[in-house]
């Protein structure tokens, strides 16, 4: 553990605990106890519990959005309309690369996102606020790649995509049991190899109409 300020120590521990136990499952006293700082410092630095959580969400979202936007730009600079696979890849691999290789605290951040994305009370609003502008850029690129796509299909495909990513980041170890130890929910490299072709095929099935592809 490097020399961190008290504020940084709160941030580091809070990110991990919120990811593991959720917002309501984590108390300020647990956070500050593990961080070795006084409870009252949360109020001083972040106002209150929700302020702390929001700040954690905001911090990394900014950096992430810039990076993913650049990844999309690079794809489109080579080719516009770009192939579906490359667009999906730009969105997805930026995340998965962080989890696979870089500093391990990103895993906690994505674990937090998994909980936020599935929270029926305020999760939708929070995700929209932080990520929808970026998502719209990706959907624009996909719309140019599949110009005959029905608008609603594009949005629902993104929804399925987001759900698949989210469950991955939740890292619940269910697939470990289901597969009898063959797969591991924390094997983000395995997801990295499979998610792009899976999602791209889904997009093509619904958004590149040859006749009507909807079901029923």
Residues that bind DNA (CB under 7 A): 5-7, 26-30, 37-45, 48-50
What's the min distance (Å) between Cβ of 3 and DNA?
Answer: 11
Contact partner at residue 81 from DNA, its own copies, none, CB < 5 to 8 Å by partner kind: none
Are the C-beta atoms of 106 and 16 separated by less than 8 Å? Answer: no
Are the C-beta atoms of 155 and 132 separated by less than 8 Å? Answer: no
CA distance 54 to 215: 40
Which of these, 35, 48, 26, 49, lies nearest to 7 by C-alpha position?
Answer: 35
Which C-beta is closer to its own copies: that of 10 or that of 84?
84
Which C-beta is closer to its own copies: that of 42 or that of 195?
195
Which C-beta is closer to its own copies: that of 32 or that of 117?
117
Tokens 């490097």 belong to residue = 2
What's the min distance (Å) between Cβ of 118 and its own copies?
Answer: 4
What's the min distance (Å) between Cβ of 20 and its own copies?
Answer: 6
CA distance 93 to 3: 32
State the burial class of residue 100 (Cβ atoms within 10 Å of its Cβ: 0-12, 13-18, 19+). middle
Contact partner at residue 22 from its own copies, DNA, none, CB < 5 to 8 Å by partner kind: its own copies
Contact partner at residue 48 from its own copies, DNA, none, CB < 5 to 8 Å by partner kind: DNA
Contact partner at residue 6 from DNA, its own copies, none, CB < 5 to 8 Å by partner kind: DNA
Which C-beta is closer to its own copies: that of 81 or that of 209?
209
Q: What is the DSSP letter of 81?
A: S
What's the min distance (Å) between Cβ of 106 and its own copies?
Answer: 15
Q: From its phi and psi, is residue 47 left (phi > 0), alpha (psi between -120 and 50) or beta?
A: left
Which C-beta is closer to DNA: that of 18 or that of 138?
18
Which of these, 95, 100, 101, lies nearest to 166 by C-alpha position?
Answer: 95
Which C-beta is closer to DNA: that of 44 or that of 155?
44
Contact partner at residue 198 from its own copies, DNA, none, CB < 5 to 8 Å by partner kind: its own copies
What's the min distance (Å) between Cβ of 51 and DNA?
Answer: 8
What's the min distance (Å) between Cβ of 2 and DNA?
Answer: 15
Give Cα 181 distance to the centre of its chain: 25
Tokens 């990103």 belong to residue = 106
- Please state, as a whole number, how many other Cβ atoms lie within 10 Å of the Cβ of residue 38: 12
């Amino acid at each position: 553990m490097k020399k961190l300020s008290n504020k940084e120590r709160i941030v580091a521990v809070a990110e991990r605990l919120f990811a593991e136990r959720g917002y309501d499952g984590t108390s300020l006293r647990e956070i500050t106890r593990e961080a070795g700082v006084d409870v009252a410092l949360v109020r001083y630095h972040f106002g209150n519990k929700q302020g702390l959580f929001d700040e954690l969400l905001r911090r990394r979202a900014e950096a992430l959005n810039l990076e993913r936007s650049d990844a999309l730009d690079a794809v489109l600079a080579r080719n516009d309309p770009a192939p579906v696979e490359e667009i999906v890849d730009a969105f997805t691999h930026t995340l998965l690369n962080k989890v696979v290789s870089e500093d391990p605290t990103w895993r906690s951040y994505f674990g937090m996102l998994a909980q936020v994305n599935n929270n029926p009370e305020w999760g939708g609003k929070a995700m929209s606020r932080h990520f929808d502008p970026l998502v719209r850029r990706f959907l624009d690129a996909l719309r140019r790649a599949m110009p005959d796509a029905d608008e609603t299909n594009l949005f629902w495909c993104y929804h399925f995509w987001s759900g698949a990513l989210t469950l991955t980041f939740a890292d619940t170890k269910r697939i470990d049991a289901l597969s009898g130890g063959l797969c591991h929910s924390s094997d983000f490299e395995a997801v990295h190899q499979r998610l792009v072709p899976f999602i791209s095929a889904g997009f093509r099935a619904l958004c590149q109409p040859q006749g009507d592809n909807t079901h029923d």
